[in-house]
Amino acid sequence: TMTKGWVESSLCINGGVLFGGNNVLYFYNYKTQELERIHIHPENSNIQPINYRVQKILPFKENKLLIATRQKGFFTYDCQTREIKAFTPDYPRYLLFSACIASDGNIYASYYGNGVCRFDSNGQKTARYTVEKSPLNNNYVMDILEHEGKLWMGTDGGGITKMDLQTGEFSFLTH
């Protein structure tokens, strides 16, 4: 059972639903109606569980999901073996707010007050977008999604930023 559990994210998968909490995935099995806990980092270790909070769960490669944690980078989850492995060796030590796997095969992650990082499909950081180093107009990117080849980024005070994935050009929506 889950009592007083923090749930930040969810994803429907074959046979049930995954919920992301502090250092844990909860798998609710439709058939058995049971909730299973799957820890990202060993439960009895000396860690801060909030740093492993699962901010996003994303479909990734065949039978694998990408788990984006609050401050400990990305992990992969194998739906068949239920194994969790570290994915990003070089992740920013900032608070992750959102993540998106785009049609160009890259992973885009926003870090509160620190812009957006792009990772390739192997977990290597390949670019960083900030107000100081790119046309991004606000470093506080709260959410990211892709639609029709454009990355849409909702910011805290800067409106909506769009980045064309083919050209890298930025455009902005404000009110």
For residue 111 the two structure tokens come to 């870090």
What is the predicted pLDDT for the residue at 48?
83
Give the span between the Cα atoms of 21 and 123, in whole angstroms.
22
**pTM recorded for the entire structure:** 0.90
Low-confidence ranges of the chain (pLDDT < 50): none
> What angle is formed at CA 27 by the lines to CA 43 and CA 45, rounded to 5 degrees?
5
